[in-house]
Amino acid sequence: MSTAFTITALNDATDSENRMHSDDVAARYGFKGALVSGVNVFGYMTQPLVAQLGTQWLSNTGFDVRFLLPAYEGDTISVDSVPSISPERIAFEDRIETRASNQTGTMLATLASWPLEKSDYSRAQAMREQAQQEAVIYSHEDRPLLTWDVIQIEKAAPTWHWTPSAEDNARHVTTQRDMAACYRGPEALIHPYFLLDTCNRALMRLYRLPAWIHVGTVGSMLRAIKINEKITVDCRPIDRWERKGHQFIRLYISMFSGDDLVFEAEHTAIFRIAEK
């Protein structure tokens, strides 16, 4: 199968809080250099999909992205899909399996996407109501360091009122080197990289994190979000576990525009990395 898209990976200009994006910290955990974030790789994987399927891919779409191995600064990332996306195939009717590999052919990430059949707001609405009932004043300075014992499963975080600015979106688009017209202008849509980076920030808004790694997200993009749109973001931890010396956390995240659910996801990260 021919490669649909190739790009040189660059370290994120927008994610300065994760120390895994520095060479010295990454080396302590056995990596050869600073890691390019998973959300950035996810953005690369969406580019050929949006290029061929248009903005319909950004709405009414379910997705499951998993990061298998890290990408490093300067890696050549190649993206291809099954079924193959071509100019003749512009309808999004089937499940699409998209893969990202580096210059040695090593697979780094997989992304499955599919059209949603129907939406169920009940889970997101219940968390929204829980956050309102348990409302507390958010304090960035008082965030606890993320450890196993501070995780309160199913406890809703304070609601985050988020308005994605044109400037923040432009930074993400520039980092991606994405030329798609839908991410530009006064009616610009926010980039998928920005969307998942916001899920990372929901986690960082809850806790102070040591070095950590985003490992995957399963979500639903019910409608593309526009710049300057007023969005409420609710989240809560729904699971924690340990495997091979790593400790994991999973958040459930929902985003509403007014009373309309526009996005929801289960977002998973390693918050304690086994040192080597």
pLDDT score of 87 more than 60: no
- Residue 1 has a pLDDT of 35
For residue 140, give both structure tokens.
């960035």
Paired residues of 228 in beta bridges = none
The larger pLDDT score, comparing residue 85 to residue 121, is at 121
Residues 114 and 127: their CA atoms lie apart, in Å, by 25
Q: What is the average pLDDT across 211-228?
A: 96
The DSSP letter of residue 189 is B
User: Is the pLDDT at 65 greater than 50, yes or no?
Assistant: yes
pLDDT at 127 over 90: yes
Determine the average pLDDT of the residues in 225-252.
97
For the cut 50, the answer to whether the pLDDT of residue 186 exceeds it is yes
pTM over 0.75: yes
Answer whether 81's CB lies under 8 Å from 2's CB. no
Q: Indicate if the pLDDT at residue 66 is higher than 70.
A: yes
C-beta separation of 237 from 249 below 8 A: yes
pLDDT of residue 86 exceeding 60, the answer is no
Counting the structural domains of the chain, the total is 1
Evaluate if residue 123 carries a pLDDT over 80. yes
The average pLDDT across 149-175 equals: 96
Full domain range(s) for residue 119:
5-272
DSSP label of 164: -
Contact 192, 58 (CB under 8 A): yes
- Highest mean pLDDT pick, 3-17, 41-55, 71-85: 41-55
The strand order across the sheet containing 231-243 reads 5-8, 76-82, 96-101, 107-115, 61-67, 213-221, 260-272, 246-257, 231-243, 160-162
What average pLDDT does the segment 246-259 reach? 97
Q: Please name the residues in contact with 218: beta carbons below 8 A apart, sequence gap of 6 or more.
A: 63, 64, 65, 265, 266
Residue whose C-alpha is closest to residue 213's, from 78, 41, 58:
41
Distance in angstroms (rounded) separating the CA atoms of residues 22 and 26: 6
Two tokens, residue 72: 């490093």
Percentage of the chain beyond pLDDT 70 is 89
Q: What is the CATH number of the domain that holds 89?
A: 3.10.129.10
Alpha-carbon span 270 to 145, nearest angstrom: 14
- Which tokens belong to 204? 């960082």
Mean pLDDT of 150-156: 95
Q: Which residue has the tokens 């990202």?
A: 100
Q: How does residue 270 score in pLDDT terms, banded at 50, 70 and 90?
A: very high
Q: What's the mean pLDDT when you consider all of the chain?
A: 89
Question: Which residues are paired to 129 by β-bridges?
Answer: none
Looking at residue 2, what is its pLDDT? 44
